[in-house]
Amino acid sequence: MPGRLIGIARKDRPHGPVEVIDHVAIGLDTGVHGDHRGAIRPGKSNRRQVTILLAEDWTAALAELGTPVSWEQRRANLLVEGIALPREEGARVRIGQALLEITGECDPCRRMDAVADGLQLALRPEWRGGRTCRVIEAGAIALGDSVEVSG
């Protein structure tokens, strides 16, 4: 059963403000258009072009934390719900027209504790901090798009 895309966010520079949007293009060389992390720089890897956070994982972390925090403060690009995302490198996820390949866990950093004390620790178990991805096929995505794990 497919999941659903319920959030899209980007930031144009490191430590910059997060912009929440309802649709965006995802490119092979840009990741989420307008997000500083997605652009492939000379000599750098494209392993972290797009980050995906599961709404259910976010809810579990906040329940443990006991503090309400808006999802975009996690600074992930995409928020999805209703699907079990794999934890294996190489697994592929189709969101709208874009195809992404999971490259690893999106480890929560100490900046999360600046958002809410203890948030970093609450995001550590079970890949609650999300997944990092590289773009395999470019395409447009929008809120409400289907999310499916593919072969």
Structure tokens at 6: 């319920």
Question: Count of domains in the chain?
Answer: 1
Cα–Cα distance, 142 to 118 (Å, whole number): 32
The predicted pLDDT at position 46 comes to: 84
Count of alpha carbons within 13 angstroms of residue 109, beta-carbon side: 7
CB 57 within 8 A of CB 112: no
Positions in the chain whose pLDDT score sits under 70: 151
CB 85 within 8 A of CB 55: no
The predicted pLDDT at position 3 comes to: 98
CB 142 within 8 A of CB 22: yes
Residues of the domain holding 142: 3-150
Cα–Cα distance, 130 to 112 (Å, whole number): 13
The predicted pLDDT at position 40 comes to: 79
The predicted pLDDT at position 107 comes to: 92
- 3 state SS of 111: helix
The predicted pLDDT at position 151 comes to: 65
Structure tokens at 124: 């550590």
CB 20 within 8 A of CB 34: no
For residue 142, what is the domain's CATH number?
2.40.33.20
CB 99 within 8 A of CB 27: no
Structure tokens at 21: 């949007």
Structure tokens at 134: 């590289």
Residue 79 burial class via C-beta count within 10 angstroms: exposed 0-12, middle 13-18, buried 19 and up: buried
